[in-house]
Structure 1
């Protein structure tokens, strides 16, 4: 099980977009998530974790919305649920996320899965839109790094 801290603020990067993009709430009145330019660090792209009652699972929140909203899986009622949103925080298994060690890439050591869809559906992004979703397999968009916000370096290149 990966080591995470509920006392830190993070940006989330994946190996598909590398240092160029970070995961953020797309704050156009909606609740969807996508990768944005890493130079645009803002409260919608700063994340923190809170513990759940299930060992090794956490809720993910943005600084912009605080603990009132958590990263959640949209329940598509029997259809394979792959879509994500920020939703009102509650005791929902789609809001329980775990950070598993994934030793295939030291720079992006985590695989994120949730309690609703299970350990074989991982946080990923689409290659064309960079929108966040869940997918099985082992793709570069599923390898994540939690970078403490106090160590984020913004570059112009």
Structure 2
């Protein structure tokens, strides 16, 4: 019996945690919604000619709402959309405030490397390699409630993201 318990304990200890295990299939697209706004609002790209602004928009069958998570190593992912493809990635604008998010030309930038960690409530928190765990992908609570940015990390429902394969 002790041998069986010892073998079980070593299996439990050596099993990878969810933060270490790759949770996203590089060949799959995902929809991102928040706990706060629910399934009716999805992370989307504004189709305005510039095609680089992000917004929470009514959920629909739009290629700007389908996101691919591509592993870039060390537990980080690059996020691209079906619409813009691998050439444009979710990025943080380096403008001094460092909170504005856009789709930018894909490159080797720490603002394009996202850590996506499952939380105890079943949702995910998303932070960048550049800004670290102190700033999370969030929805601005301004009455319109559709703008996204990096904001100080806290226990806010706009920072809890539901990620569902499409």
TM-score scaled by length of structure 2: 0.81
Task: State the shift of 1:20 in Å.
Answer: 1.3
Structural RMSD (CA): 1.3
Confirm whether residue 61 of structure 1 aligns to residue 77 of structure 2: no
- Specify the alignment match of 1:71 in structure 2: 90
Structure label with greater radius of gyration: 2
Q: Shift in Å at residue 29 of structure 1?
A: 1.7
Tell me, in whole angstroms, the C-alpha distance in 2 between the residues paired with 1:56 and 1:83.
Answer: 23
For 1:112, the equivalent position in structure 2 comes to 126
Cα deviation, residue 45, structure 1: 0.7
Q: CA deviation at 1:125?
A: 1.0
> Equivalent residue of 1:145, what SS?
strand
Unaligned stretches of 5+ in structure 2? 1-18
Q: Gaps spanning 5+ residues in structure 1: where?
A: 150-157
Q: Does 1:14 align with 2:30?
A: no
Tell me which of 107, 111, 135 is aligned to 1:90: 107
> Would you say how many aligned residue pairs link Structure 1 and Structure 2?
142
In 2, the alpha carbon distance for the partners of 1:51 and 1:42 equals: 23
